Amino acid sequence: MAVLKICKYPDPILKQEAGPIVEITDDIHKLAEDMIDTMREAPGAGLAAPQVGQSLRIIVIEASTAEEVGQALVVINPEIIRSDGSLVYEEGCLSVIDYSAKVTRANQVLVRGLDIDGNPIEIEAEGRMAVVFQHEIDHLNGILFIDRISSLKREIYRRRLKKALKKEEQEARES
């Protein structure tokens, strides 16, 4: 098990649509384990394979109920097959540094996919967990939460990030 490097915006892999997993191999099992370690180390509520440089349709999500603490959900080739309601939730992202914003999402979702052993699963999620599923599945489709906010807020973030990266570069050259 290992902690993987998390790709940061504007890394191009974050804008690509991930490919489906056609066979669950030992490499996929290891990737899932490493993603769970990475998510927990960060710490985060979920992680999608593109965030660790793998253009594959696999997500991991930290379980949220008291009975499930310490367990993570692994969903391969997840898709939202039903969504209902609406809520506004303050989102952040391990790949979008130092920024959070309110995003409107469905309040309830039904997600279909495969578990780590290749068995078909359906998961109903509501509230925060529904938001996490939508956020991580967006990653598989090359969508970041900042793509779901106003263009003005997105541009302000891009400018601030560009300025911060320039400052880091300059400090690195000076040391």
Of the listed 41, 136, 169, 174, which one is catalytic? 136
**Mean pLDDT score across all residues of the chain:** 93
Considering the entire predicted model, what is its pTM? 0.92
Express each pLDDT in 157-171 by its tens digit. Answer: 989 988 888 888 888
Q: Look at residue 38 and tell me whether its pLDDT is greater than 60.
A: yes
CATH fold of 12-150 reads Peptide Deformylase (3.90.45)
Residue 12 preceded by cis peptide, ω within 30: no
Residue 123 phi/psi, 5-degree rounding, is: -125, 125
pLDDT recorded at residue 40 = 94
Q: What is the DSSP string of 8-71?
A: -TT-GGGGSPPBPP-S--HHHHHHHHHHHHHHHHTT-SEEEGGGGT--BSEEEEE--SGGGTT-
pLDDT recorded at residue 17 = 98
pLDDT recorded at residue 168 = 81
pLDDT recorded at residue 173 = 83
Q: Look at residue 55 and tell me whether its pLDDT is greater than 80.
A: yes
Express each pLDDT in 61-116 by its tens digit. Answer: 997 654 556 689 999 999 999 999 999 999 999 999 889 999 999 999 999 999 99
Residue 90 appears among annotated catalytic residues:
no
Confidence of residue 142 (pLDDT cuts 50, 70, 90): very high
